[in-house]
Amino acid sequence: MKIGDKQYSLRFDSKQWSGRVDSISRSLLQWYRNQGRDLPWRNSQDPYCIWVSEIMLQQTQVERVKEYFHNFLLRFPTVFELAKAEEAVVLKYWEGLGYYRRARQLHLAAKKIVSDYDGKFPQDVRALQQLPGIGRYTAGAIASIAFDLPEPILEANSRRVLARLIHFDSPLSGGKSEQPLWDVAASLVPRDGGAGAFNQALMDLGSLICRPVSPFCNECSLVDHCQAYQLGNVDRIPYMPKRKSTQKLEEKAYVLVHEGKLLVVRRQPGEWWEGLWDFPRTIPENMAARGPQRHQGVISYSVTHHKITCQVLSKMISQRPAVRRHKRWLLPREIQKLPMTSPGRRIARLAEKVLF
Ligand code: SF4
């Protein structure tokens, strides 16, 4: 089958495919008009809102993003407000959403849009991809939804729909392995208006109908075109190579207390949660501890493919040595205002309950 100027050995032949393109687009758009999701960021064509929502949606469920999107836009209503904010404030508004690198890159990109483009988003996918944190998918989403440019997108939901549609059964492990699906997406996206709606329709169909397990094929507007359905291979496609197995780790976290204040440390570059505050995982050598070490509880959390069990211990510190900028002695109410890692926030609650 030929897609664009490339030849692929897929089950459609080129003639069949080009004969179906219009029908697939039409069916999908009609379904979307009646059944598409009503999401807060869908009421806007402002590239800033679309960009913020797309970055939040990476690795995060829609329902969770809804909670954060509203507050984030209230605090940073424009790219100018975001660019001039302190990084710590941006992280605070991201706290609990996870994958904090996204927030730091969003902030850096906002500064670049203000300094290099006068606060106006470039209307070109190549220029968009030069901005921190904007990859091929996000650039395509901004260009198609905000500027109605015929740019394709490929993310988890649309990838699944397209792979099933053309019975693409090769392993999908990112990068070049996904190029055929990018080409299919590009061949389908309407050139004469409606690119943004089409891309959003594809994502919605993947989310609501073409689910990873037990898709609702009987309700699907693309069923007549779907090769995986017709060949009875829906459960096998897309073929994703196995993820890394989970690694179990154990660690200790310390609540060090001096005159009602607790020691917190800021995560450094190269560490998980860079820029966020947390409790130390060791007792600094220059601190003189007094009294017994107390067991405050155990928390468990996951980061990437690690599952971590953390024992929380507390210790009184008799003398408080000077600490560097990435460490602070703070009252619990001051700690509440810091952007914190999610285990750090749980340790703080545990410490408050038991110590005060
Ligand atoms: S027919 Fe089934 S597998 Fe094919 S696109 Fe529709 S929901 Fe997905």
CATH of the domain at 340: 3.90.79.10
* Owner of token pair 């069990």: 309
Q: What is the pLDDT along the chain (356 residues), one digit of tens a residue?
A: 655 555 555 566 667 777 888 899 999 999 999 999 999 999 889 999 999 999 999 989 999 999 999 999 999 999 999 999 999 999 999 999 989 999 999 999 999 999 999 999 999 999 999 999 999 999 999 999 999 999 999 999 999 999 999 999 888 877 888 898 999 999 999 999 899 999 999 999 999 999 999 999 999 999 999 999 999 999 999 988 887 889 999 999 999 998 889 999 999 988 999 999 999 998 887 777 777 888 889 999 999 889 999 999 998 888 777 777 789 999 999 999 999 999 999 999 998 876 66
Residues β-bridged to residue 264:
328
Residue 115 counted as domain residue: yes
279 lines ligand 1 (CB under 6 A): no
> Closest ligand 1 atom to the C-alpha of 226?
4
Ligand 1 centroid, distance to 175 Cα (angstroms): 24
Label residue 342 left, alpha or beta by phi (over 0 means left) and psi (-120 to 50 means alpha): alpha
One domain, residues 258 and 230: no
Ligand 1 centroid, distance to 50 Cα (angstroms): 27
Ligand 1 centroid, distance to 25 Cα (angstroms): 15
Give the residue, out of 31, 222, 233, with the most ligand 1 atoms within 8 A of its beta carbon, to mutate for a pocket test: 222
Ligand 1 centroid, distance to 164 Cα (angstroms): 7
Q: What is the pLDDT of residue 247?
A: 94
107 closest CA partner among 90, 129, 126, 131 = 90
222 lines ligand 1 (CB under 6 A): yes
Residue 11 counted as domain residue: yes
DSSP per-residue string spanning 303-338: ETTEEEEEEEEEEEEEE-----TTEEEE-HHHHHTS
229 lines ligand 1 (CB under 6 A): yes
| Burial class of 42 by CB neighbour count within 10 A (0 to 12, 13 to 18, 19+) | middle
Torsion angle defined by CA atoms of residues 282, 285, 286 and 287, in that order, rounded to the nearest 10 degrees: 40
> How far apart (Å, rounded) are the C-alpha atoms in residues 25 and 224?
13
Q: How many residues does the chain have?
A: 356
One domain, residues 89 and 128: yes
Model pTM score = 0.83
Residue 88 counted as domain residue: yes
Give the residue numbers annotated as catalytic, written as ranges.
54
268 three-state secondary structure? coil
One domain, residues 276 and 296: yes
> How far apart (Å, rounded) are the C-alpha atoms in residues 111 and 209?
39
CA separation, residue 262 to residues 103, 137, 277, 315, 355 (Å): 27, 43, 12, 10, 10
Query: Nearest residue CA, atom 4 of ligand 1?
Result: 226
* Residue 138: CA count within 13 A, CB half-sphere: 27
210 lines ligand 1 (CB under 6 A): yes
One domain, residues 211 and 103: yes
Ligand 1 centroid, distance to 227 Cα (angstroms): 9
Domain end, chosen from 205, 236, 267, is at 236
223 lines ligand 1 (CB under 6 A): yes
* Helix, strand and coil in the chain, % to nearest 5: 45, 15, 35
208 lines ligand 1 (CB under 6 A): no
Domain end, chosen from 214, 236, 258, is at 236
Q: What is the pLDDT of residue 196?
A: 96
One domain, residues 171 and 274: no
One domain, residues 229 and 289: no
* Residue 183: CA count within 13 A, CB half-sphere: 19
One domain, residues 183 and 64: yes
Query: Nearest residue CA, atom 2 of ligand 1?
Result: 217
Residue 241 counted as domain residue: no
Ligand 1 centroid, distance to 217 Cα (angstroms): 5
> How far apart (Å, rounded) are the C-alpha atoms in residues 55 and 139?
11
Q: How many domains does the chain divide into? A: 2
Domain that holds residue 173: 2-236
Q: Which amino acid is at 138?
A: T
Query: Nearest residue CA, atom 5 of ligand 1?
Result: 161
